[in-house]
Structure 1
Amino acid sequence: MGTLHGPTAVDRNLLWSRLDDAVAKQGVPLPTPVFVVDTDAFDANADDLVRRAHGKPVRVASKSLRVPALIERALAHEGFQGVLAYSLREALWLHEQGISDDVVVAYPTVDRGALAELVASPSAAAAITLMVDDVAHLDVVDSVRFSPTVPVRVALDVDAGLQVAGQHVGPKRSPLTDVSSVVALAREVVGRSGFRLVGAMTYEGQVAGVQDAVPQARTRSAMIRRIKALSIGQLAVRRREVADALATLTDLEFWNGGGSGSVEETAADPVVTEVAAGSGLLVPTLFDHYRSFEPRPASYFGLPVTRKPARDVATVHGGGLSASGAAGADRLPTPWAPAGLRLTGLEGAGEVQTPLTGPSAAALRIGDLVWFRHAKSGEVFEHATIVHLLAGDELVDAVPTYRGCGQVF
């Protein structure tokens, strides 16, 4: 059961000293923002995800990491197997770099250039699985190849939303909402030359990706837990019905489901053969308040104080690293260490400066580092080329992000 409290103010202040000391030991100033991943917490989170999966393999969601060395670090843990990518070009690059020979692209693609590369490479086509939910996705593949000599692996993205009172609750992903629509597309795949139907995916985002134990929102959290329980029960029936129908057409290699917030519930479904997880490795702030696991934050970025406009205000340089999704305060970065800092209502997290107030602001001096946590995992590394890896009290390595490798997906 996850904690409702998380790290204490004392824990956060100790973290502040630990991170500052590790940076100081480098002997030379590090460019800011300084991006750090605590590998001790990362490894503990990886082991916890495997434990929660109860023997089913965990496929690492690269979208939530975007650092090749961290993807490899996750895959090195016993119990992790394969990558869930978010872009075909990313999948091709991961295969080319030798990072994984088992990559499922989680979203349909119409990138004809990338598809042309895929069908021209037997090794890539054997390692990468495309996601489809419409015949049009197959047509795009066929439009870039002269002959179906290289079979393309595909999986079906089956809707996993909660259907209640005529309403759909959950991510707006796939039009495959019932057995008949799934079977119709499956027949098209099986009957079309040059394609192999190898898997299925059901991503229950309304279960895996929504906080359900927020202390300041107990009523809403209770409602969300009810929605999750209804979703899990309804989805178990839908998965079984779809799986039974697909079994009359082909034998699937895998059925992917879940996310960091629903590993136990998803793994408990006998239809599911593997679970996906990524955010649970770095634990951004949007994953702080879950009943299903104890958060161990592992990712931070440090910004220097450059101004003291008032005794009780400290202004850091930069900071406007907001997360995607519906705009709101929960998408802003959180000043984390030292404890006792908060954003201002007028400026929030600014692109070039971020003023901070709160009890700790008066003690900060120009040149001090303030450490933030991002709201969503992986996205923050779109703003970085290098991430420093922390082990114990030492920065032991500096590794490139996708951007640092010259890749933008």
Structure 2
Amino acid sequence: MTEEWRTDPDAYWAAIDAAVRAARLSAPVLAIDALALEHNIADLRRRAGGVPIRVASKSLRIRSVISDILRRDGFAGVLAYTVDEARWLATVAEIPDVLLGYPSVSTAALAALIADDEARARVTLLVDSVEHLDAVDVAAPPSTRGVVRVAIDLDASLRYARGLVHLGVRRSPVHTVGDAKTLARTIAARPGLALVGVMSYEAQVAGVANDVDGAIRNQAIGVVQSRSMRELIRRRGKAIAAIRDVADLEFVNAGGTGSIEATAADPSVTDIAAGSGFFGGHLFDGYAHFRPAPAMSFGLDVVRRPARDIVTTLGGGWIASGPPGLDRLPRPVWPADLSYVPAEAAGEVQTPLRGHGARRLDIGDRVWFRHTKSGEPAEHATEAAIIDRGADGGPRVIDVVPTYRGEGKCFL
């Protein structure tokens, strides 16, 4: 694809703005550049080196886009985030392989899934404790149900000094080979359960930028990430072998957008999760080994001018998950030379922006933003405009598709 977004950002964003205005789409407007999305799909597949990619739905939340990606070679299955979403994707979207990426103790949601024969055959629940197994039995006793598919969440964090130093997210208590084998045996002994997979997310590699300000910091991050992957590949391989002594595993899922190359080098892994890399939020601008195109963006209307060099947009507080900080805020990208007012930043209802770019804006003009990660935009919009640049390079809106919200869904 042309990298106009990098070489001539003013022209790139002006074209996005012109396309949605020509389609008479009102703000807040969510836009997906089809060409940029194709670039990111191809790049993720290249980085995976032949290992199938499992689509992390929480980072897209647009059913038609998820289904479109899954029709491509190199992509298989979904990593869902709630039981109700997993059941919906397995049935309405007809996705045959849905792994739940997080445990659930919702009796109502679990009961509805278990009662649906099609969903129960297609969805795999994630567990990391006996309590999660008990929650399944409470929702539907073994004597009243068919077999429920489950996967073990194997902790992928790096631990030093007997756990006093912990690098990675706080997810599963299943960390050692012994932990994994004990839980596998417990699952195997429980009627009405089938242990079919393992998930293991190395957040300290996938979710930490390695090309930010400070060469020493970047070098230190690289050393820690390399050491972490070496330790994890050894430990994960032994844990998977131990679990396979107990059950015939169908899959071992691991990784994320930021760790694809490293995760693909682990011979125990059968598929790699990726989500935010499809739409290319600005979080990934800080990664050295890849740079996705900004396939998704959103536009907000200028509704006030409180000062000559300040304009105010309606909306803007589309904040990403993670530790609170400026890097979790959307980034204004067009017009150029706009920044937040520190005392207010991105507001839920209005967002003041200041800088030379504000002087060129009138009330009724539009400011374009890039989101940080990817899941948050779809929670603020009911539809997304698909933009194609066409054979002559002229951008135009070729479709408008519903987000999860647009389909009346609010899963979490």
**TM over 0.5: same fold?**
yes
Match for residue 50 of structure 2?
A: 55
Match for residue 362 of structure 2?
A: 365
| 1:326 aligned counterpart, secondary structure | coil
Match for residue 157 of structure 2?
A: 161
Match for residue 84 of structure 1?
A: 79
1:1-400 to 2 correspondences below 5 Å: 8=6, 11-26=8-23, 28=24, 30-146=25-141, 147=143, 149-166=145-162, 167-214=165-212, 216-392=213-389, 393-400=395-402
Shift of 1:150: 0.5
Shift of 1:6: 11
Contact 2:340–2:346, Cα closer than 8 Å, also in 1: yes
What is the alpha-carbon distance in structure 1 between the residues aligned to residue 320 and residue 302 of structure 2?
22
Q: Deviations over 1:210-262 (max 9, x none)?
A: 11101x24333222222211111110111111122122212211000000001
Q: Deviations over 1:173-221 (max 9, x none)?
A: 000010111111100111111000100111001100111101x243332
Shift of 1:51: 1.0
Which of 402, 405, 408 is the aligned partner of 1:403? 405
| 1:376 aligned counterpart, secondary structure | coil
What is the alpha-carbon distance in structure 1 between the residues aligned to residue 107 and residue 119 of structure 2?
15
TM-score of the two chains, using structure 2 as the length reference: 0.94
Amino acid at match of 1:353: Q
Amino acid at match of 1:284: G
Amino acid at match of 2:130: V
Contact 2:5–2:12, Cα closer than 8 Å, also in 1: no
Contact 1:6–1:288, Cα closer than 8 Å, also in 2: no
Shift of 1:400: 0.7
Which sits farther off after the overlay, 275-284 or 374-383? Answer: 374-383
What is the alpha-carbon distance in structure 1 between the residues aligned to residue 398 and residue 215 of structure 2?
41
Contact 2:4–2:11, Cα closer than 8 Å, also in 1: no
Shift of 1:310: 2.2
| 2:112 aligned counterpart, secondary structure | helix
Q: CA 1:354 to 1:247, structure 2 compared with 1: closer, same or farther past 3 Å?
A: same
What is the alpha-carbon distance in structure 2 between the residues aligned to residue 16 and residue 55 of structure 1?
34
| 2:8 aligned counterpart, secondary structure | helix
What is the alpha-carbon distance in structure 2 between the residues aligned to residue 188 and residue 260 of structure 1?
32
Contact 1:12–1:338, Cα closer than 8 Å, also in 2: no
What is the alpha-carbon distance in structure 2 between the residues aligned to residue 328 and residue 6 of structure 1?
29
What is the alpha-carbon distance in structure 1 between the residues aligned to residue 402 and residue 91 of structure 2?
17
What is the alpha-carbon distance in structure 1 between the residues aligned to residue 117 and residue 301 of structure 2?
49
What is the alpha-carbon distance in structure 2 between the residues aligned to residue 217 and residue 67 of structure 1?
37
What is the alpha-carbon distance in structure 1 between the residues aligned to residue 215 and residue 279 of structure 2?
25
Shift of 1:148: 5.4
Question: % of aligned pairs identical?
Answer: 48
The CA RMSD measured in Å over matched residues stands at 1.6
Contact 1:108–1:137, Cα closer than 8 Å, also in 2: yes
| 2:356 aligned counterpart, secondary structure | coil
Shift of 1:340: 1.6
What is the alpha-carbon distance in structure 2 between the residues aligned to residue 78 and residue 257 of structure 1?
19
Shift of 1:7: 5.0
Amino acid at match of 1:35: L
Q: Deviations over 1:336-357 (max 9, x none)?
A: 1122211111111112221112
Amino acid at match of 2:154: V
What is the alpha-carbon distance in structure 2 between the residues aligned to residue 73 and residue 190 of structure 1?
36
Contact 2:126–2:152, Cα closer than 8 Å, also in 1: yes
Q: CA 1:109 to 1:337, structure 2 compared with 1: closer, same or farther past 3 Å?
A: same
> Which stretches of structure 1, 4 residues or more, deviate above 3 A after TM superposition?
5-8
What is the alpha-carbon distance in structure 2 between the residues aligned to residue 56 and residue 360 of structure 1?
44
Task: Extract unaligned runs of 5+ from structure 2.
Answer: 390-394
Shift of 1:149: 4.1
Q: Deviations over 1:50-69 (max 9, x none)?
A: 11111111000000000101
What is the alpha-carbon distance in structure 1 between the residues aligned to residue 231 and residue 34 of structure 2?
38
What is the alpha-carbon distance in structure 2 between the residues aligned to residue 381 and residue 217 of structure 1?
33
Amino acid at match of 1:267: A
Contact 1:385–1:402, Cα closer than 8 Å, also in 2: yes
Amino acid at match of 1:67: I
Q: Deviations over 1:19-46 (max 9, x none)?
A: 12102221x3x22111111111111111
What is the alpha-carbon distance in structure 1 between the residues aligned to residue 300 and residue 406 of structure 2?
20
TM-score of the two chains, using structure 1 as the length reference: 0.95
